[in-house]
Structure 1
Amino acid sequence: MTLAESAPVDTERRLHGNLGVMHLFFSVMAWNAPLVIVVGIIPVMFFVGNGVGTPFVFLVAGLIILAFAVGFTRMARVLPNPGAFYAYITAGLGREAGLGAGLLALAMYFCAYTGTFAFGGVVLGSLVHDTMHGPSAPWWVWALAFWAFVGILGYLSIDLSAKVLMYFLAAEVLVILVFDLLIAGQGGASGLSVAPIAPEHWFDGSFGIGLMFAIGMFGGFEITALFRDEVRDPNRTVPRATYAVVVFAMLFYAVTSFLLVNALGVDDAVAAAAADPAGIVSVTMEQFGNKFLADLVIVLVNTSTLAVILAGHNIVSRYAFNLSADRILPVGLSGVHARHGSPHRASVAASLGALVVSIPVVISGVDPILYYAAILGILSIGFLFMLLLTDVAVVRYMKKNGGDHSSVWATVVCPAIAFVGLLSCLILAVLNFDLIIGGSRSLANTILVLTAAIFLAGVAMAMVLKRSRPEVYAKIGRQ
């Protein structure tokens, strides 16, 4: 008898939806913000990562995540509990580690969700004032527009959010594909070169740091399991959407970075990116396309940011819902809307929480971009740590409960390959954390300690619950 069979999830606190593979795919990719990655992250990877070899590092990162996904999706078939990493780590490593992971997941996604409001306020303000020559206002004024829009959509059915994300992401991907085709069609700066994928460039610059950045570009694919109760036929939809996201992201970023190197010139790409990392893609788009394409990208960066915030809101509200259903958070947050099937109370709490956290940031006058970079640090380090824990949990759980879904290849070899890659990236992330957040080493150390403290607080809470409230302890991990 499996854990899922012996401890069924409370069916009275189930969310409802009708998401298919494509809806789920677009929801995850929207969280990744591919246009923001192409415009803002890949140029940085050129000069702090492995330079011309950046396309190769995306392929390696994709293969590591694919190896992880093999075991992850097998476990999704055997353990039909919502909660994703929270549920899987609990089932495989115990309730103490599970609750630590659940609180850390909630914290890291909440940080990303709230921090992106600051970035959104800056880019929307720039669009209105600099591009459209409209009024000027503080970043938080524009951020409030994002907050209101996302708060309304997040309250409603997940199906509506998925449709909005699908349209936004389709526009992003289409523009990037047009950009790629223009570069390929014009032969780059001086003819298309295979140098970016040639072995002599695989380990240019810092391969380790490049891999660390690349792994982070695959974030959010656990959404496929987190939304399990809101999809059609989860045993088919979750694995298909997971593999589709990973394969698409791997090829999309590898091809785009390959063509961008060619557009800038193999010998000049690193220097050009270092000289103007924020603007080099826009300049290149105007060079190979036209000004309309470059201006369109500015608009779509805003819709991409909005999509990230909406996806983040949905993730946060569902983690809060799951922890509430388990009685870890106030039980009122696990209410399910009678009509929309959404975690409407957790959604309102997420919106209010983002507003409360942002108020001291506004009052203190902190630079919004520095705040955004620093607060995303918890997401980056937390994501790697959660992947590593889940990878180990898959092996342990499937060995005992996998049955016909367990095999040496799927639940031992692939997780082992993923473990080596993920552990290497986690070590590199800790050692180079100040580079990730663009801040000082002291700030980096503070965030690392805070991240560890959140996880350990969850472990300690579970230990207390085991003695004082065993009925709550038994429910940890949506069991």
Structure 2
Amino acid sequence: MQPQQDPIAGALAADRLGAPSVVYFVLSAAAPLTVVAGVITTGYAVTGITGLPIAFLVVGVVLAVFAVGYVAMARHMANAGAFYTYISRGIGRPVGIAGAWVALVAYNALQVGLYGALGTAAVPLIERWAGVSPPWWTVSLVAWVLVGVLGMMRVDINGRLLAILLTAEVAVILLFDLADVANPGPEGVSVATLSPGELFVPGVGALLVIATLGFVGFESSVVFSEESRDPRRTVPTATYSSVAIIAGLYALSSWAMTVATGPSKIVDVARKEQAETIFNLAAAHLGGVVVDIARVLFVTSVFAAMISFHNTTARYFFALGRERVLPAFFGRTGIRSGAPVVGSATQSLIGLIVIAVYAIFGLDPLVQLFFYGGAFGGFGVLLLIFVTSLAIIVFFVRQPSGESALRRLVAPVPAAVALGVMVWLGVTNFDALLGVPKGDPLTWVLPLVYAVVALLGAGWALFLRYGQPSVYSLVGMGAKAAAQ
């Protein structure tokens, strides 16, 4: 079937997002309060290393260097497919479609995994306030409905909601940090955990990868490029701002915890109190009311991340449908909203199926859904960032496009090397990411899923190349594909 016989029904709404709105989407995906409460304390507990604050700063520098080439490429192709488009235009269409398949799996895993966290976190609050203890999945279904409805609405409406939720969330984190630093433990206001020497210890690989997972979402600025005002300015501003804010906030929060407990005690405290660490530290100085508000904001943090990842995933479906890599109906958008309605509905359907499966079989929503799903999805995004870093180098070698040597090679090459090391560390420390013993089947089954998915994607690309060459020629073309 020729592509022109199956026209795209719509396009994403342009000029609806300024740089602040894109930053809200990116930071909401990063889920600051969720990371501070869960990822940071898990990092201390699992690795036993106190250098997490400096690890966040190092990873932030690496990703900022990567972003130099990333946003330079964005200036030449505004496309909701982001990684998929860049890899296709840089390395080639088969690798690009393989990356698209990996992206769909990774972002869906991140999004649906959050339903486990929200249900688990919300039930104790409902029990305290209403005296009833509903199953976690009933709360998750309410969130699922809200996310699904918002996904069908205008993207700027989602952005305004995220702005409100994120502002409150970050304000509470900063309040907690201030209380920790103002009330230091027996060791005083120590900056030992900010020393680069903290990274030269055994097991630091797992620490760096855990820190990297805290940044997942920063790359989504490009996904909203087609809906941004002046993408050539908005995307770079949003990307650099997001990396800087994430690195600074997480480094500050992880350091403040060590001040409150003492650097020598943070590991033991994190292992004992786990995600309750930040709330227990705050309760001693800020009172129960503030902590209760923070617990509510923890739930809204997860909800905001759901909205952000839902929108990102829906736009990947849209980009692939527009170019007929997926059936063309995935490229349809709402007439009034300009939202990728089919992609949004598909992502919602996946979420519903996962919630139902976990509820029916009584699986652990926190560990087996949120924790495993987050680690699995985050590692997939890390893989995509690494491959994209290679694609950026290849693209600019072939087409300098008027970019400076800094943007074409000087920044992208060391970023690719550093990201390659992080991927290797992620593979070799996958047990630490999941919190399972070495040799556990999950440590090789989950990474293998990405290998299989990538091979299937590459195989589909070859099928299109020889079976539907007119479709194959549209891969990576973005909005231009809709005109064919």
Which of 122, 129, 132 pairs up with 1:132? 129
Given the superposition, is the C-alpha separation of residues 201 and 377 from structure 1 closer, same or farther in structure 2, using an over 3 Å criterion? Answer: closer
Per-residue displacement from partner, 1:95-141 (whole Å, max 9, x unpaired)? 00000001110111111111211221111112211x32431111111
Verify the 8 A CA contact 2:82 2:222 in the aligned structure 1: yes
| Counterpart for residue 438 of structure 1 | 435
The percent identity for this pair of structures is: 32
Indicate the residue corresponding to 1:193 in structure 2: 190
Aligned-pair CA distance for 1:426:
0.9
Please tell me whether the aligned partners of residues 13 and 337 of structure 2 are also in contact (alpha carbons under 8 angstroms).
Answer: no
| Structure 2: distance between partners of 1:11 and 1:90 | 24
Moved more, 89-98 or 421-430: 421-430
Give 1:38 shift: 0.8
Match of 1:275 in 2: 272
Corresponding letter in the other structure for 1:172: E
Structure 2 counterparts to residues 167-178 of structure 1, below 5 A: 167-178=164-175
Label 1:411 to 1:188 Cα distance change in 2 as closer, same or farther (>3 A). Answer: farther
Contact 1:99–1:477 under 8 Å retained in 2: no
Contact 1:30/1:308 (<8 A) preserved? yes
Q: Which amino acid letter does the alignment assign opposite residue 155 of structure 1?
A: M
- Write the distance in 2 (CA, Å) between the matches of 1:309 and 1:80: 24
> Does residue 1:384 correspond to 2:389, yes or no?
no
Identify which of 42, 62, 65 aligns with 1:64.
62
- Who is 2:298 aligned against? 301
Does residue 96 (structure 1) correspond to residue 94 (structure 2)? The answer is yes
Over aligned residue pairs, what C-alpha RMSD do you find? 1.9
Letter of the 1:126 counterpart: P
Equivalent in 18, 36, 51 of residue 49 of structure 2: 51
Return the TM-score normalized by structure 2.
0.93
Which residue identity is paired with 1:445? W
Moved more, 282-291 or 57-66: 282-291
Can you give the 5+ residue segments of structure 2 that lack an aligned partner in the other structure? 1-6, 479-484
CA distance in 2, matches of 1:345, 1:413: 41
Match of 1:246 in 2: 243
Contact 2:93 2:475 in 1 (8 A): yes
Structure 2 match to 1:4: none
TM-score (norm 1): 0.94
Contact 1:13 1:335 in 2 (8 A): yes
CA distance in 2: counterparts of 1:238 and 1:69, whole angstroms:
10
Is structure 2 residue 368 aligned with structure 1 residue 375?
no
Secondary structure of 2:188 counterpart? coil
**SS of 2:42's equivalent?**
helix
* Partner residue, 1:78: 76
Distance 1:200 1:65, change over 3 A: closer
Distance 1:96 1:429, change over 3 A: same
1:259, distance to aligned residue in structure 2 (A): 1.3
C-alpha separation between the residues in 2 aligned to 1:209 and 1:374? 15
Distance 1:11 1:393 in 2: 31
Partner AA of 1:401 in structure 2:
Q
- Aligned residue type for 1:378: F
Superposed displacement of residue 200, structure 1:
4.3
TM superposition shift of 1:285: 0.7
1:163 aligned to which of 139, 160, 163: 160
Cα distance in 2, alignment partners of residues 265 and 103 from structure 1: 45
Secondary structure of the corresponding residue to residue 455 of structure 1: helix
Identify the residue that residue 3 of structure 1 maps to in structure 2: none
Q: Please tell me whether the aligned partners of residues 45 and 274 of structure 2 are also in contact (alpha carbons under 8 angstroms).
A: no
Q: Distance in 2 between matches of 1:221 and 1:278?
A: 23
Deviation by residue 1:347-383 (Cα, 9 ceiling, x = unmatched): 1222122212332222111111222222333312211
Report what 2:457 is aligned to. 458
Matching residue of 1:261: 258
Q: What letter is aligned with 1:167?
A: I
Deviation at 1:401, TM superposition (A): 2.0
Distance 1:29 1:274 in 2: 27
**What does residue 222 of structure 2 align with?**
225
SS of 2:51's partner is helix
In the aligned structure 1, how far is the partner of 2:378 from the partner of 2:290? 31
Match of 2:475 in 1: 476
What amino acid is the match of 1:91? R
Cα distance in 2 for residues equivalent to 1:433 and 1:239? 32
Q: Check 1:448–1:201 CA distance in 2 against 1; reply closer, same or farther (3 A cut).
A: closer
Runs of 4+ residues deviating >4 angstroms: 9-12, 187-190
- Distance of 2:173 and 2:349 partners within structure 1: 35
- Cα distance in 2 for partners of 1:307, 1:165 equals 6
SS at match of 1:384: helix
1:388 Cα deviation from its structure 2 partner? 0.8
Structure-2 change in CA distance of 1:232 and 1:188 (3 Å): farther
Residue in structure 2 matched with residue 105 of structure 1 by the alignment = 103
2:344 is paired with a residue of what secondary structure?
Answer: helix
Number of aligned residues = 469
User: Residue 237 of structure 1: which of 229, 234, 254 is its match?
Assistant: 234
**Structure 1 partner of 2:409:** 412
- 2-structure distance, mates of 1:418, 1:122: 37
Tell me, yes or no, if the aligned pair for 1:50 and 1:203 is still in contact at 8 Å: no
State how far apart, in whole Å, the 1-side matches of 2:281 and 2:338 are: 45
Shift of 1:158: 0.4
Is 1:50–1:202's contact at 8 Å kept on the other side of the alignment? no
Distance 1:264 1:421 in 2: 32
Q: Does 1:36 align with 2:42?
A: no
Comparing 332-341 with 96-105, which one deviates more in the overlay?
Answer: 332-341
Give the CA deviation at 1:183. Answer: 2.5
The 2-side partners of 1:70 and 1:200 are apart by 27
Do structure 1's residue 447 and structure 2's residue 446 form an aligned pair?
A: yes
Deviates more, 1:150-159 or 1:428-437: 428-437
**1:71 CA displacement:** 0.6
How many Å separate the matches in 2 of 1:453 and 1:228? 30
